[in-house]
Structure formats: C-alpha cells, structure tokens
Amino acid sequence: MAFNDYPSFSWSLSRKKVFETCKRQYYFQYYGYWGGWNAPPASVAYRAYRLKNMTTLPMLLGSIVHEVIEDAIKGYSASGSIPEYFQLAYEARKRLSDFWERSLAKEWKLKPKSPNLFEHGVGREFTREQRGEVREQIVRCFRNLYDSEKFRLVLDTNPESYRVPERLASTRIDGVEVFGVPDMALRTADDAQIIIDWKTGKQRGDGQDQLSTYGLFITRELGFEPCRIEGYLVYLDPLAEVGGTISAESIKSAEENARKSILDMISYIEDRVVNKPKSAEHFPKTTDENECKRCFFQELCHRDSALKLFPEAGVFP
Ligand code: SF4
C-alpha cells in the first residue's frame, strides 16, 4: 500500500509531553520511525519503528487493565451482565503473561511490532516477589474499580446513554487535528455529560489539563455548555476519584495551551504542506540524564549507553 513521505501532523497531550521532555525523542517518536515497516533492519527508520512500539511494565499493566475494563463494559452494554472483579483480574493476568512470554522470546526481532518490554531490553531481572506484586496490583485495580462510585454510575446508567469515546476523541484547532480519547463518556438522566478516565499509575497533579482538553472536545463537537460537563479521573491503586464540573475558564485555557504548543511544534517543521520535519540535528537532546534512562530511543541516540544496554545494536548518528 502506498503511503505518504511523512506522517500527518496532529496534536495531543501525550505528544506535547514528549515534545517538552526531549526534542530528539520527539523526532524519533513522531518522524524518525516513518516508513520503518518497509525499511532495512539496520536503518534508523526500522529501528525507531521497533523502539517506538516498546512499552514498560507499568505502561503495559495500564493498557491491559484499560482493555479489560473496556471489554467488560462493552459486554455489559450488550448483555446486561458483568463478570466478578476477580474474573477480570484473571483475564488481565493472562494477557500480561502472554505479552511477557512473547517479549522474552524476542519475537520483535522478526516482527518489529511484536511485544517488546523495555525492561527486557535493558536486561532487568524481576524477582519472584516483584512479579507477585504486579499480579497483586492487578487484583487491587479491579477490586477498587468495582468499589468506585464512577464504575457504579456506569453500571447504573442505561447503556443507551453511553457515548462511543472515539467520537469525542478529536477536534480541530487552527486546521490541526487535536486528539485525546477518554476511557468512558456517558449522558446522565438530567442531561449532563460525564467523562471518566481510569488510572493505574500514581496520582500526580490534579489532571486538570487532561480533563479540560476532553471538555474542549465536548464543547466543540457536541455543543455542550461547560457547566453541563463533568470530568473525573479514577485512580485504581490506591482508589481515589478526583474531578468535578469542568469550568469554562479551564476549557479556554486548554485551547490556548494547545494552540501555543501546536505553534511550538510547527517551528520544527521544514515544509508544512507535507509535514516534512527539519533534520534530526535541529531537534536538541535533553541534558536530563534521568529522562535518557527512561527513553526507548537510547540505542539510536547515546553512543555510550547504547553500547552498554544494546550490545548488538549500532548507534545513530
Ligand atoms: S536518550 Fe535522552 S537525549 Fe536521546 S532521545 Fe532519549 S531522552 Fe532524548
């Protein structure tokens, strides 16, 4: 299948986070990987494509818990019944084990999009106790989900009032597509719009930027007044629910932040028509070594650490 020479340009909070963390990482993540699926294995594009697909154990745990919750709510919507929490935990643990085994077997050496855990790449060993703690964390997440007010609200709401989150997932600002998919959205009996995001990571900040960005999508795409929109982040381990009505001011501020961030990103583009980036050298590397330790693109970036962590790999540039 034919594809463009460059990826299309869009904006999201996660893209903004990478952009603010390290411009070189941003280059690999959003440009350098492009075409890697058709490129020779030794090429930067192929390797960036493989590395972009990596995940960490906490990220993997989060995405599996989200998938299992989404499947459970879809099943509830279709059948009116929902499994017990421990059955969902069991399903999540099965998916985690499958990913783990495939990553250990290095299937990604032949298929770059195959499961690939960062911790395996850097040779990190997990003790029996640490693996047991991950399994316990999964159980706690689902037990707390079932104890949460917002999950109860979802089950008490007629599934016909659920909104397909993908339909709320994007809007346009100054012609640029802006993305962000909430985990759950529903309309209440008194015609308010509620957005819910499940979180498996630790609580950091008040999450207002994320909720306000979702609020922005809903005011723009569905025409709701801000006073009719509520947004909640539900932390699952330990259980904490934060959020409330999303104010008009915070939605305005989300729009201004997105607009400013888009302009900053555009300044790294050489040709806006095709979204051709400037060359990699124009994307400076961070000087924060802690960010480098967490970065998936080390083998393409830092010669010394790359040779230590990935002895089989060459480095770039
Ligand atoms: S290794 Fe460090 S400098 Fe290089 S891309 Fe990653 S975060 Fe940026």
CA 129 to chain centre: 28
pLDDT computed for residue 5 by the predictor: 93
- Give all domains of the chain, ordered by start, each with its CATH number: 55-147 (no CATH), 161-266 (3.90.320.10)
The residue contributing the CA closest to ligand 1 atom 2 is 292
Per-residue pLDDT tens digits of the chain, which is 317 residues long: 456 899 999 999 999 999 999 999 999 999 999 999 999 999 999 999 999 999 999 999 999 999 999 999 999 999 999 999 999 999 999 999 999 999 999 999 899 999 999 999 888 888 889 889 999 999 999 999 999 999 999 999 999 999 766 666 788 999 999 988 889 999 988 888 999 999 999 988 778 889 999 999 888 888 888 889 999 999 999 999 999 999 999 999 999 999 999 999 999 999 999 999 999 999 999 999 999 999 999 989 975 544 444 444 444 33
107 vs 69, 126, 161, CA distance in Å? 27, 20, 42
pLDDT computed for residue 303 by the predictor: 54
Rounded to the nearest angstrom, the distance between the alpha carbon of 315 and the centre of ligand 1 is 13
pLDDT computed for residue 86 by the predictor: 97
Rounded to the nearest angstrom, the distance between the alpha carbon of 20 and the centre of ligand 1 is 12
B/e letters for 264-291, b = 16+ CB within 10 Å, e = fewer, are ebeebbeeeeebebeebeebebbeeeee
152, 135, 128: which is closest to 89 by C-alpha? Answer: 135
pLDDT computed for residue 180 by the predictor: 84
Rounded to the nearest angstrom, the distance between the alpha carbon of 18 and the centre of ligand 1 is 10
Distance CA 64, CA 304 (A): 34
Pocket of ligand 1 (CB under 6 A): 22, 24-25, 285-286, 291-292, 295, 297-298, 301-302
pLDDT computed for residue 188 by the predictor: 87
Rounded to the nearest angstrom, the distance between the alpha carbon of 179 and the centre of ligand 1 is 25
Distance CA 185, CA 2 (A): 36
pLDDT computed for residue 1 by the predictor: 44
164 vs 24, 78, 195, 200, CA distance in Å? 35, 14, 11, 22
pLDDT computed for residue 206 by the predictor: 75
89 near 227, Cβ under 8 Å?
no
**Measured from the CA of 22, which atom of ligand 1 is nearest?**
8
- Residues 206-240 have pLDDT tens digits of 788 899 999 998 888 888 888 899 999 999 999 99
B/e letters for 50-67, b = 16+ CB within 10 Å, e = fewer, are bbbbbbebeebbbebbbe
